[in-house]
Structures are given as C-alpha cells and as structure tokens.
C-alpha cells in the first residue's frame, strides 16, 4: 500500500514553479498596454498613483517569476521519476489555486481593491473563465489591469497545463496524466500520438482563432486594445469585457462577430483540428455538435417569439438579442447584450436551464456539457426498453459507436454529484443572507463557469455585495466546475492518499 510519502513532491514543486514562471511572463506582457496608456505618468515617474498599474504589474510579475524560478531550480535535479496519476491530479488542482493566489497581486498592489478576498475571487473567476466580477465601474480600472484581467481568461480557457505541455518539453514526462486531469471531459481527445504535439495543435488553433476574432472586431470599429481584450474573453468563453454595459453598446455587426466566435469556442476543439485536416464528413456527422446547434436554434426561436408576442420588440432586435444571449449562456461566456431578467418569465427560465447544459466536451465552455446530456437522455430512454427486454444487451450509441458502460456510469455519477453540489451550494449561500433566486443563480453561474446569474447577481449586476465567506465558497465552486468535479473531489478521498 502506497501512502502520501510515495508522492513525488519534487516533481509537483518543479511543475508548479514552471507554471508560476509562465504566469509571471504573462503579467509582464500586461505592462505593454499599461505603459502605452499611462505614458504621461511614466514620463513624470508618477508610479504610485491609485490609477496607475505599471509598477504593481511589474512587482507582481517579478514576484511570480522569482518564486517560480526558485521552486524550479531547487527541484530540477531531484527525483526525476515520471508523474503518475496522483501527482497529475495534485498538480492540476494546486496549479489553479497557486496561479490565482499570485494572479490576485496586481489587483491588490494597484489599489483597485483593498480586499484580498475580492482580488482572489476576481482572479479565480478569470482563470476559470467564469466571468463573475466584483467591480461596479469597469471603465474606471487601469488599462493594464483590464488587460491582465482579460488575459487570465485567455490563459485559463485552453488551460495553463496544456500551455505548459505545448511549450515546455520538460513536462513531457507524465504529460498525459496532466492532460487528462486538466481536460477530463467524457473522453479526452488525444489528436496525435504525442501529447505534447496535441497540446501544441490545440494552442495553435486557439491562437489563430483569437487573431481572426481580433481582426473582425477591429474591422467593426473597435480599438486594437478593446478588440484584443474581447477576443481573449470570447475564445476562452470567459466574458470579461472593458465596458460597464458589457457588449450592449456594441453594433449589430460586432455582436454577430462575437456570436460566431462564441459558438466556435463552444465546439470541441478536436473538430477544429479535423476541419484543418478537411475531415468535414466526420464533423457534420458529429452528434454532439448537432445537438449543440439544435439547442441553440430551438432556444433562440422560442425566446424570439416571446419577445415579439409579449414584449412587442422589433424582429431584428428580438432575434439578435435572443441569439446572442442563448449562445453567450450555453457556451458559458457570459457577455450581456440585454437584461434577460426583464424578458417573459419562461424566457429567462430557458436561459437558466442553458446554464446547466454548457458547451461541447473539449471546448473552452463550462457546464455539464452537451454530450453528457445526450448520453443521459439516451440511457434513460434505453432503460425503458431494458425493462421490456431484460435479457437483451442494448448499448447506448453515440456517433455510430457503442459507449462503454463505465463511461455511462461516469456520466450518471457526474450528473448526480453536479446536482448535489448545486443544491448544497445554494443552501449554503442562502444561509449567508441571499434570497432564493440570487442563491441558485450565483451557484449555478459559478459552478457552470458562466458569470451572470439571476436575482442580485443578474446580467446588469455583480457579485460585490456577496459576503466574503460566500465569495470563497463560489471561488471553490468555480474551480470544481472548471476541472469538472472529479479532478478536485478525488483529493478529498482517503483512498486517493492511501492507495
């Protein structure tokens, strides 16, 4: 029987060190917009003004780089054994906590918040691509801070572990364990024989789509800065913007661009890879993609009809607003083009249900995932046939293939645990003083990595008034949702530590 002493602590610390180095470099990258927009402050050496963020970003980046370098250097030659399953789960879970701890420093040092709980909440919301914010006046924040805020979502969208596997060969040892732990899904797609090459392919596609989105947004009239920030948070399905009204003030063209790229970001990225290989027949026949598209179209049609009939909204506005919010919520992006809580009740209830469905497996979206919903319904339907024909072997099929029973069990367990956590979290948050709608809205939006919820955390409000204890709980739920429950929950199992 192995114990906690058998865990390769040196490998864990070394990898965490590398991840902090990467985070520090991204913080320093945020110095570029800070320096550009605060040129006068820099020239006058006014570095300690509350609205200036150059020095806070610089100090934060140096701290992350220093601690990361120390962890790596002191552990680089110690115990080079491969990373096993347990190390993989520990590294992935700890890495998201660690980068959030250090990622909160720019918010604190710049003075945009003096409460570390708020800073950590904002950072965890960023890295997990949740998009829940505590800030009431986004446009008052320094440009470098806003850029770092958007960058946290872009890093978290594809995953910092996947980024590490793509650019750092030293993590090639045991890389598959890290990949599976961070991108759990139903069946993690290994697109090439080498996991490092798979990670590179995913990030190349991710970067290319970000650049295309940026170009289309610039063509629509956005500045390079705003276009980059919104591209970061669109492809990551994060939803942090640079405007107080999110994207409500954007032109129909800009909103349509965001709709297209949110939709693409909600698709399994392996399908984008196959598109590059011109395997279009495989893509068109993919059942998860079909159901994902059907859900969007049907939900949009129902909500559009309700706005036309019950709210007397013009057809073009009703269609764009409905489509935008449906795509934004099902992909768990969380951009807001209209206050859906003012729509007919059943319309925003559809929006609330979409928060649980989420995007496709292997996308940057959160939620339960479309493929799990499909498998859940198909298994339930087949149970009726099994009752009639108890001796028959009737497998659940997806894309023409039989799904192994252990995956069905995994889906059933995931769904049950997800609902139990949602119910328990809602109860806990309500005990902190929030009303029923706000409690279920905050928990659903945090667990599903969505951002805007219902009630007092609705699309035109924020999470600033939630008690600190509630913010820590919601931060934990964000992490659970981003790593799809099991990767984090397994750490609380006694069997995991006494294998």
pLDDT at 415 over 70: yes
The whole-angstrom separation of Cα 334 and Cα 257 is 15
Residue 361 has a pLDDT of 86
pLDDT at 94 over 60: yes
**pLDDT tens profile 18-62:** 889 999 999 999 999 988 887 655 555 554 454 578 899 999 999
Residue 78 has a pLDDT of 59
Residue 180 has a pLDDT of 56
On whether the CB atoms of residues 209 and 233 are closer than 8 A, the answer is no
Residue 179 has a pLDDT of 52
The whole-angstrom separation of Cα 230 and Cα 246 is 10
Residue 488 CB neighbours (<10 A): 20
**pLDDT tens profile 361-379:** 888 888 999 999 999 999 8
The DSSP symbol for 81 reads P
CA dihedral 474, 475, 477, 479 (to 10 degrees): 170
Residue 172 has a pLDDT of 46
Residue 158 parent element (H or E) = helix 143-158
The whole-angstrom separation of Cα 350 and Cα 204 is 35
**What value does the mean pLDDT take over residues 278-283?**
86
Residue 119 has a pLDDT of 97
Select, from the ranges 81-95, 154-168, 209-223, 387-401, the one with the highest average predicted confidence (pLDDT).
209-223
Residue 1 has a pLDDT of 47
pLDDT at 496 over 90: no
What's the chain's average pLDDT? Answer: 87
Confidence band (pLDDT; 50, 70, 90) for 186? Answer: low
Residue 164 has a pLDDT of 58
pLDDT at 182 over 70: no
The position carrying tokens 């659903």 is 444
For residues 429 and 46, which has the higher predicted lDDT (pLDDT)?
429
For residues 366 and 468, which has the higher predicted lDDT (pLDDT)?
468
The whole-angstrom separation of Cα 214 and Cα 226 is 9
Q: State what percent of residues in the chain have pLDDT above 90.
A: 59
């Amino acid at each position: 029987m192995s114990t906690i002493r058998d865990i390769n602590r040196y490998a864990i610390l070394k990898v965490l060190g590398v991840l902090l180095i990467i985070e520090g470099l991204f913080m320093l990258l945020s110095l570029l917009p800070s320096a550009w927009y605060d040129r006068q402050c820099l020239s006058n050496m006014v570095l300690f003004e509350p609205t200036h963020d150059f020095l806070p970003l610089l100090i934060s980046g140096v701290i992350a780089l220093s601690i990361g370098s120390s962890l790596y250097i002191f552990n680089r030659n110690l115990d080079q054994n491969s990373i096993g399953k347990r190390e993989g789960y520990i590294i992935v879970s700890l890495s998201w906590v660690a980068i959030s701890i250090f990622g909160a420093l720019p918010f604190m040092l710049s003075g945009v918040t003096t409460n570390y709980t708020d800073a950590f909440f904002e950072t965890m919301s960023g890295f997990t691509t949740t998009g829940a914010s505590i800030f009431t006046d986004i446009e008052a924040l320094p440009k470098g801070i806003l850029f770092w805020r958007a960058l946290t979502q872009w890093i978290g969208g594809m995953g910092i572990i996947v980024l590490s596997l793509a650019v750092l060969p030293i993590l090639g040892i045991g890389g598959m364990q890290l990949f599976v732990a961070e991108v759990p899904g139903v069946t993690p797609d290994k697109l090439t024989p080498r996991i490092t090459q798979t990670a590179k392919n995913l990030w190349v596609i991710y970067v290319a789509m970000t650049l295309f989105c940026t170009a289309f947004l610039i063509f629509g009239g956005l500045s390079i800065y705003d276009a980059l920030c919104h591209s970061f948070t669109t492809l990551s399905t994060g939803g942090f913007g640079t405007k107080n009204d999110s994207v409500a003030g954007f032109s129909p063209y800009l909103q349509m661009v965001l709709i297209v790229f949110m939709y693409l970001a909600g698709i399994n990225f392996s399908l984008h890879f196959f598109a590059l290989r011109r395997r279009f027949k495989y893509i068109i026949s993919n059942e998860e993609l079909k159901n994902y598209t059907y859900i969007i179209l049907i939900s949009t049609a129902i909500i559009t009809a309700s706005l036309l009939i019950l709210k007397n909204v013009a057809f073009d506005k009703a269609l764009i607003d409905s489509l935008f919010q449906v795509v934004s919520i099902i992909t768990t992006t969380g951009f807001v083009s209209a206050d859906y809580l003012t729509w007919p009740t059943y319309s925003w209830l559809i929006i609330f249900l979409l928060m649980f469905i989420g995007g496709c497996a292997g996308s940057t979206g959160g939620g339960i995932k479309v493929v799990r919903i499909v498998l859940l319904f198909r298994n339930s339907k087949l149970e009726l046939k099994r009752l009639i024909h108890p001796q028959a072997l009737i497998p659940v099929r997806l894309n023409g293939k039989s799904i192994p029973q252990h995956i069905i069990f995994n889906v059933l367990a995931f769904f049950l645990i997800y609902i139990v956590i949602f119910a328990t979290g809602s109860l806990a948050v309500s005990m902190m003083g929030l009303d029923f709608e706000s409690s279920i809205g905050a928990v659903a939006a945090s667990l599903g990595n969505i951002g805007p919820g219902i009630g007092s955390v609705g699309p035109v409000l924020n999470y600033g008034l939630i008690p600190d204890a509630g913010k820590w709980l919601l931060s934990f739920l964000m992490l659970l949702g981003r790593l799809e429950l099991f990767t984090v929950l397994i750490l609380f199992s006694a069997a995991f530590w006494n294998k």
